[in-house]
Structures are given as structure tokens and as C-alpha cells.
Amino acid sequence: MKQNLVLLMLIIFCFNAKAQKTYPEKKDLKKSIDKNFIPVTDKHLMNKYEVSNNDYHQFLLEMKYRVSSDSFNRLYPDTAKWRNLRTYNEPYVIYYFKHPAYSEFPVVNISRAQAEAYCKWLTEYYMRNEKRLYKSVVFRLPTEGEWIMAYTGKDSSFGFRFPWGYFMKSKPKDVSVNYCEAHQEEIRYKRENKKPDPNSMKGFLLNSPYYDTIYYEKDFHMYEMPAICSGLSNAFYTTNVAAKGFKQNKAGFYHMAGNVSEMVQGNKTKGGNYLSPGYYTRADAEDEFEGKSPIYPFIGFRVLMEIVEK
């Protein structure tokens, strides 16, 4: 943990000169849309990057003058959620969303309604540009099927559980995944809705004919990190959305597996996050949060553009 705090303080110090009142500076999102959206089907394109803090700041810059102060506050990320990771995270509470050092890190601690509000605003932003590439589009969260197509480049996950192939261990050497390396892709969590047996073991692995399961219970939270990752001794949580080495498939998508779990339609998430064991980074994995759609510092989103009229 000390290693993490030293690294965090070093980054904050190095970027201190940039931390002016002018941050974030307003930018032309049309250029980034034209550059960063990759075709998934003939009528659907998806951002190769997860939505970053800077992207979300652009949304808030406009909303600040269009909605009431109460409505604006409801659009702001709940940064206090960083305290839920059971370690000292006050620097993240204060700096993660506000400081330019994290401008290109994925936005987290937002609700599904906030993500959908961002998509609605992005549609309006694009449509009022007279030089837009398409006559009419809608930006939205992808369906699970659309997300899988972007992830695998195929209509289903058959034969491609990961962006590069069927096994985690077949990952190319120049490709990185920000996840909890706990026995690769055959580990998933065991959840108990009732109070567990006080005599049961905590944080151990149980062999199964079908898959290994992690038991890890503390305070009976719905989501618990596996014991192997609970120390976070070498983790730096999220990673820059465009970090070198995290382009994971031939289409050019970054962080489809790992970094932050991505919201999709149907109240689900896909892709796993920096605390997920390899199983939840698979295309065919069920929703890690069982359809609860919570607000957490490891859930973000990626935007899909649907072409209504060319």
C-alpha cells in the first residue's frame, strides 16, 4: 500500500503545474469521434476507448449551464465510493476525477442513468455539427451482443473467449490486461446471500468438476475481491484508456478485457475489471454483479454509435 501511495503522490507532484482552474479545457469531440469509433457492423460503430474522465468532464462543462445545480450535482461522479475498497484511498476520492493526471483514465463511480445521460448529450453534440459525417446517429450503451462482436470480432464468443483467442495463456506477449491474475480464466466468485457458516474458511480455493470457485466473504458485501488481490500491493487500479500495450484485438479496441467492467444494455456489465479474476474478462462470462448495476470504482462504460441515416 505504501508503494501505491508513493507512486500516487509522485504523479500528483509531477502534474501539479497542470492543475489550473482552466482544467478541463473544452475540446472538439467531433474529431475524436471520427477518429476513435470503429465499425462493428454496417450500422454500428463503437469507441475503441472506454469513456475517460476528460470525456465526462466535457459533458459536465455543458450541463453546468443547462440544468439546475441540483440536477448537475446528480450528474457528478460519487467519488466517495473509492473508500469502499477497504484501503486508504482519500487521494483517489480527492484527485481521481478532478486532477489532470487522471484525465485519460476511465470515468468510474457513476450510475447507469448518468452513463445514459452522457450518451444522450453526445448525440445532441454530434447532431448539431453541420459538418458531421453521418446525417443522423444515436449514441448509446451497446447491447451484450454488440459488445461481444466488438470484443471477439465475431457474432458470438464461440472459439474466442478472449479478444485474441480461446485461452488467457495464448495472449500475445505485447498485449496487456489489467485484471487480478488469480489462476487465469477458470476462477469465478462464490456469493452467499445468507450469512455464511462462521466456521467456514475464508479466501480459499475450492476445486470443482467444472471450474474453480473463490470463497471470500467479509461484511457480507455482494461484491468482494478475491483474497489473492485483497492487498493490492502492486496494483494501481485503473489504467489510462489508451495505454500502450492494451490494444487487445485486431480491430483496435483497448481494454475490452479488464480495467473497468463496462455497462451494457439489460442492466449488465461485461469485460471484468482490475479486481476481477480472469473468468470475468471472458466474452462468455455471466454478469459479475448479477444484474445489480451498482455504482463502484471499477465500473465504467463504452459508447456505441448507431447510424440511423447516412
Q: Note the Cα 257 to chain centre separation in Å.
A: 9
Q: Can you give the residue ranges of every domain in the chain?
A: 29-309
Average pLDDT, rounded, for the chain: 79
Look at the pTM and tell me if it is higher than 0.75.
yes
- Out of 25-29, 126-130, 153-157, 197-201, pick the least confident: 197-201
What order of strands is seen across the sheet that includes strand 304-309? Answer: 37-39, 44-47, 304-309, 136-140
Q: How far apart are CA 227 and CA 203, in angstroms?
A: 5
Q: What does the pLDDT read at residue 303?
A: 98
Q: Which three cell numbers stand for residue 21?
A: 482552474
CA dihedral 115, 118, 119, 121 (to 10 degrees): 160
What are 26-55's pLDDT values in tens digits? 777 888 899 999 999 999 999 999 999 999
Spelled out in words, what is the top-level CATH class assigned to the domain 29-309?
alpha beta
User: What's the pLDDT tens digit per position in 232-270?
Assistant: 434 458 889 998 889 999 899 999 999 999 999 999 999
Which single residue is written with the C-alpha cell 448539431? 128
The 10s digit of each residue's pLDDT in 168-182 is 878 888 898 888 775
